[in-house]
Structures are given as C-alpha cells and as structure tokens.
Structure 1
Amino acid sequence: MDKILAPIKQRILQFVDYKQIERKNFFGELNVATSNFRGNALYSEVGGDVIAKILSSHPKLNAEWLLTGNGEMLKSEEATELIKTPPRVEIIEPIKVEGRNLMPKVVVVDDEDNDRIPLVSVKAQAGYLEGYEDCNYIEELPTYSLPEMRNGTFRMFQVNGFSMYPTLQDGSYVIGEFVENWEWLSDNRVCVVVTERDGVIVKRVINRAKERGFLYCKSDNRDYKHIKVMLEDVKEIWECKAHISFEFLDPITNYQKIAELEVNVSELQDKIKQLETQLLPEST
C-alpha cells in the first residue's frame, strides 16, 4: 500500500516498533485498547485527541508524516531543538471599550515574535473558563503554528458533540480569531463563544449585541436547540477561520436522499396528472 494512503494507525504502530516501545505500555498511556489497532480496526479512524496526545508525548515525531505519510518519521535535529524551547507567553494590557476587552490579555509568541496558537482540548475547556486570562494556565497548553494563520490572535478549540454536524464533527478542531468588538461580528458566522453559564460553545451566531444585548447561537444540527447568550455572560468570542477534521464525510447518503425526493416528486406529478384526467368532463 502506498504510504500516503496507509492508515494513520499503521504509522502509529510503525513508530512504536521503531522506538521499541511495548505496545501495551504505549496504548495504556493513551487509555486506548490495543484491540483498536488490530485486524479490521486498523483501518478505522483514530480520534484527534489521541493524535494530539501522541504528538505531545513524542515531540520528535513528525506530525506531517503521521497524518499524511509525507516526509520523514522523525523531525530533523534543527526542528527538534525548536520544539524543545517553549514559546513565551506575554501579557498584553487589553484595550477596553464600555468595559469590554478588545484584545486577549494573554498571547503566545515564539522567539521571533510569531504568534503561536494554543490548543484548548475538550478536557481543558472547563479549566479555560477560569484560566483564559492566566498566563500560567495558557503556558501549559500545547501550541501550534498553522499556515495562513498570521496577523491576528488565534485559539484552537476541540469540538465536543454533534450540535454542529455535519458542518463540524465531534472531536474535530476549529481555529478561531479573537473578536475585538462584539458589535462588529457579522451574522451567521461560526464562532467559539466562551460563556460563564454554558461554558465553551461552538455555534453559528446571529448578532444582536448592539440592538438587544444578546447573541443568538444556532446549531447546524436541527436535533439540537439554539441558545440565547446575554452579553454579560460572555467572556470571549473567537470567529472560526478554519477547522481540522480527521473524518471524511460520505456524501452518498445526501445524494440518495435527493434522488429519493426527486422520485417522490415525479410520482406525485404523475398522480396529479391522472387525477386531472379523471376529473375532466367527458366531451359531448
């Protein structure tokens, strides 16, 4: 099998064997059953939180190779040295307008003043409600650098649940840019809204901040309710600019539904024509 098409799980096993790590110990640290890496299960998807933990625990492992099969298994010595030096955390005095911060208090940059993107996983989101302004907390979060994510302040959040399905899958990641002024936020944008009452939520936002003092947060999945969030309950808003998913949706189901709908409509049209024929008066 071509290495680019080989499953991620296969490359994980390749790395474990290369490092001569006992498989039961390796998967025990990940809290993952070894049966998920045998037989047909080897070709199933692997959770993003598992990948993030592997990369965090093994900084020499090349993320590009793990995810795509491209490049070398291990990073070069130069890249490894950069990883060993943690990015610094800076405290920036926020600009305030009407009592609201127009920039985050804590930003993360490397030695060349390039912004780094902290990752707030599902497990870390409860702590983020208390630590989003704490440089010590932010410093403990893993950070990443992504292409095209420059000239702004960004956070990466892991999606929890299916309220935004199929737009966003459970366990995927969104990269949000800090919203400086909530009143400027355009309608119908997918955002991460950090709230006191509902925690960290990912929703499609209808902005009524200026007119009525709240945000109407919609779920793309119609099985989930919408949420009205008052401004006094909001701590931060991050407008989503990109997302990362390890699941590829199968469009066949949607196509099948459309095809079935077209057939049903065609049958209804035929029945209407038959009824019209039957109801027409007989010619004399």
Structure 2
Amino acid sequence: MSNEVTVTSRIQVMLDHYGLNANSVAQKLGYATNSKMYKILQGTEPSFPTLVDMLRSFPDVSSDWLTLGDGPMLRSEAGTAVATSSRAVSVRGLPVVNSGKVLAITVDKDGNDNLELVPIHAQAGYAVQHNEAVFVQDLPRYRVPGFEHGKFRAFEVAGDSMEPTLNHRDIVVCSYVDNWRLLVPDDMYVVVTTESVMLKRIRQRITDLDSEVLLHSDNRHRRPYPLDTADITELWRVRGYLSTYLPTAPDVTVERLWEVIESLGFDKGEVRRHLDENAPSHAPR
C-alpha cells in the first residue's frame, strides 16, 4: 500500500475518532472552504502545511502516527504530554474579517471544485441554507471556461437594481471572498444574509464586523442600502456574466454627433458630465 493511501486513511480514522467530517474539520482548521479536505478524503496526498495545521489543531494526535504510521494515534496513549496551541488566522498582521463559517462546496469525480448555480427560485432557500452541504449538493453544477481554478459560484440576477449594467435573469459568475478586508472598492458583489441574496456595488472596504456597509445599485432610481456587516454570511465578487440580452445597434445620428463633438476638440467625458449636471430634475437618466 502506498504512503499516500496510508496517510489519507489515517486522517479518516482521526476524523472518525473525533466525530468530524470534511466540513467540520475544515472549520476547525480555519479553512475558508472544505474543498481541500474533500480532496484529501478522496485520496489526494495532503501537503506538509496541511499536516502541520492538523497537528496544531489536534495536539493530542501523534505526529509519528499521522505521518509515518508509527505508534498509537494519541500521544497520551504513549505516555507523552499533550501540548496545546492555537491557530491564529491573520493577513498582514490584521485579523481576517468574515462570517467565521466554512463554505460548503461540491467537487467532481476528480476532486475539482464545481461551479454551482443559484437560480432565482432557489435564492430564498440559499439565504437560509447556504452553509448546508445537502442544499448545495442539489444546486445545478457546471464547468465554465476561464473559471476552472478557484472557488466560483454563479447567481441568477433578480430584478432591475443593477440596470443598465445587468438585466433580470442574467447570470453573474463570482469568486468567493474569504477576507472581507481585501474586497475591491466599487466592484460588484453578491451579498448573502440569512434573509436575502443581493447583487450590489460596494464602494468601501470592510474593516471590522461592527461597522455598517453601504450597498449601491447601478439603477439611479434605487437608493443606497445600509447593512450591518455582522449580518453578512457570504460575500462573492462578480468576475463575469452570461446574458441573453443583446444591445441594439447604435443610433447612427448619436454616434455622428459624438464624432463632431470630438472633432471640435471637446472631451466626451466632460460633455457627458456637463449634460448630467445641468439636466432638469425630471429628465430621464
């Protein structure tokens, strides 16, 4: 039997001893997703840093047993004192800001992360059961070119809050944001709470759970929506979108007008800003 199989089988024995599964042990190890543990339990050899994480999180487990198969599983059974330690999670010396929950994911037969789609009709259930593996397992799964490596999830757009950028029933493909301190200001995000799934633009970084985040719509008729950061359960950054909406051909007269404006030496952006600032309040925007 190869060392790879031996190590993974011992990890399974260890998890059985503590009554843990891939999801719960990922949470204990401080991982953002359970994909790494799923792959290990399916036979992928764990990396050295992963073994170190396990030994730090399970200080009573013998390192000789886990890595080499020598001696008993528990250090106390060999008469060795059990050390305790904690695994501090930080980035650049600052504590990670997130919900503290592990992301439930699905993998294919080769252990690769799937891209799950959350359609509109499932979003109410997703808000409540997003962290339940059984619920996520039932979501449609796809492979999308350009989104094979990393943790991605797709959400169907509901409503008109992000028009004209995105339309109702468009599909946004998003990457999981583990550390909310690292979100990119002005980018678009899917914000999940226990009550809703919202597609909004976030203009400022989140620095702690005690703050309030302002969610912006691209639709000018929608006011910014304040939300307590502590109410967020998942944050997904929009990386692309799929749409069946095709814009109509450009108005030739309007295009010709812009050409004339530019030929006269005016900056198109400045002209647009001037028109917006001086338009009557009842004019469409």
TM-score (norm 2): 0.54
Of 201-210 and 101-110, deviating more is: 101-110
Q: What 5-or-longer segments of structure 1 have no aligned partner?
A: 1-88, 267-284
Cα shift at 1:235: 0.8
Query: Secondary structure, in 3 states, of the residue corresponding to 1:207?
Result: coil
Query: Secondary structure, in 3 states, of the residue corresponding to 2:204?
Result: strand
Query: Secondary structure, in 3 states, of the residue corresponding to 1:232?
Result: helix
Q: In 2 relative to 1, CA 127–135 (structure 1 residues): closer, same or farther, beyond 3 Å?
A: same
Match of 1:209 in 2: 206
Rounded Cα–Cα distance in structure 2 between residues aligned with 1:106 and 1:254: 50
Match of 2:243 in 1: 245
Q: In 2 relative to 1, CA 112–220 (structure 1 residues): closer, same or farther, beyond 3 Å?
A: same
Q: In 2 relative to 1, CA 177–255 (structure 1 residues): closer, same or farther, beyond 3 Å?
A: farther
- State, as a whole percentage, how many aligned pairs show the same letter: 27
| 1:14-93 alignment, distance < 5 Å | 91=23, 93=26
Rounded Cα–Cα distance in structure 2 between residues aligned with 1:187 and 1:126: 27
The residue type equivalent to 1:203 in the other structure is K
Q: In 2 relative to 1, CA 99–238 (structure 1 residues): closer, same or farther, beyond 3 Å?
A: closer
Q: What 5-or-longer segments of structure 2 have no aligned partner?
A: 1-20, 31-88, 90-94, 265-285
Find the partner of 1:100 among 98, 101, 104. 98
Rounded Cα–Cα distance in structure 2 between residues aligned with 1:220 and 1:259: 26
Match of 1:177 in 2: 175
The residue type equivalent to 1:91 in the other structure is N
Cα shift at 1:253: 5.7
Rounded Cα–Cα distance in structure 1 between residues aligned with 2:100 and 2:161: 28
Q: How many residues align?
A: 175
Match of 1:119 in 2: 117
Q: In 2 relative to 1, CA 254–231 (structure 1 residues): closer, same or farther, beyond 3 Å?
A: farther
CA contact (8 A) 2:212 2:226 kept: yes
- Aligned-residue RMSD, C-alpha: 3.0
| 1:127-206 alignment, distance < 5 Å | 127-197=125-195, 199-206=196-203
Rounded Cα–Cα distance in structure 2 between residues aligned with 1:129 and 1:192: 11
Find the partner of 2:223 among 225, 228, 231. 225
Query: Secondary structure, in 3 states, of the residue corresponding to 1:136?
Result: helix
The residue type equivalent to 2:218 in the other structure is D
TM-score (norm 1): 0.55
